[in-house]
Amino acid sequence: MKKEFRKICRKINKFNRFYYSKVISQELYKELKKYKKILVFIPLEGEVDIKRVINRLRREKKEIFVPFMQDLSFKMVKYSLPLKKKKFSILEPRNKNKTPVKIDAAVVPIVGMDLDFRRVGFGKGMYDRFFAKLKYKPKIIFVQLKPCVSKKKVTDEYDIKGDKFISFKTRSKDGNRNINSRYYYIRSRGVFVGQKIR
């Protein structure tokens, strides 16, 4: 079921990346500016382009960290330029030193999610393994170009659970009515923000 859902979501997120990313980035920055130590991702094609947010946070002297692939997971390293292309076309800094810093927040790209607020990713499980090893829970913010939320549970218990979801608001009627009762959504200036009601 998860594989089929992943295929559907990947088709949805192919268009208007530049504009959607700009709108999402504005909302993401508002959320991240209150944190000091932040794990972000270096975007691939088809993901929200958050490079402007990264650069703005760095100018404000925030500590920015990114994943550095290692075996079946990744370690967290300090963001630095230049970036080098690695396996799966992932860009990484040349700095290979693991950073034992306690992060306040993490921005995680998703392919989709379900009503449990759990992530459907690209199928490699790297984020799941990374967060499973942490002995604390930072604020986890999911980002996606366009919302792709399953009305059924399609994830497993080991799939990471987000605290907030930021995407571009579409005019589609699909799904929104069914999930309003369990989630709080803000809809303004084209942005779609959700967080689970505790």
State pTM to two decimals.
0.85
Indicate the fold that domain 2-196 takes in CATH: Rossmann fold (3.40.50)
Query: What pLDDT, on the 0 to 100 scale, is given for residue 53?
Result: 97
Query: What pLDDT, on the 0 to 100 scale, is given for residue 198?
Result: 43
> 137 — phi, psi (to 5°)?
-120, 110
Give the CA distances from residue 176 to residues 140, 147, 193, in Å, rounded to whole numbers and listed in that order.
Answer: 22, 10, 12
Query: What pLDDT, on the 0 to 100 scale, is given for residue 111?
Result: 93
pLDDT per position as a tens digit, 24-78: 999 999 999 999 999 999 998 889 999 999 999 999 999 999 998 877 778 899 9
Query: What pLDDT, on the 0 to 100 scale, is given for residue 196?
Result: 52
Query: What pLDDT, on the 0 to 100 scale, is given for residue 91?
Result: 78
Regions of the chain where pLDDT drops below 70 = 12-15, 87-88, 95, 170-198
Read off the tokens for 165.
């979801």
Query: What pLDDT, on the 0 to 100 scale, is given for residue 38?
Result: 98
Of 113, 107, 81, the residue nearest 95 (C-alpha): 81
Q: Report the largest interatomic distance among the alpha carbons of the chain, rounded to a whole angstrom.
A: 47
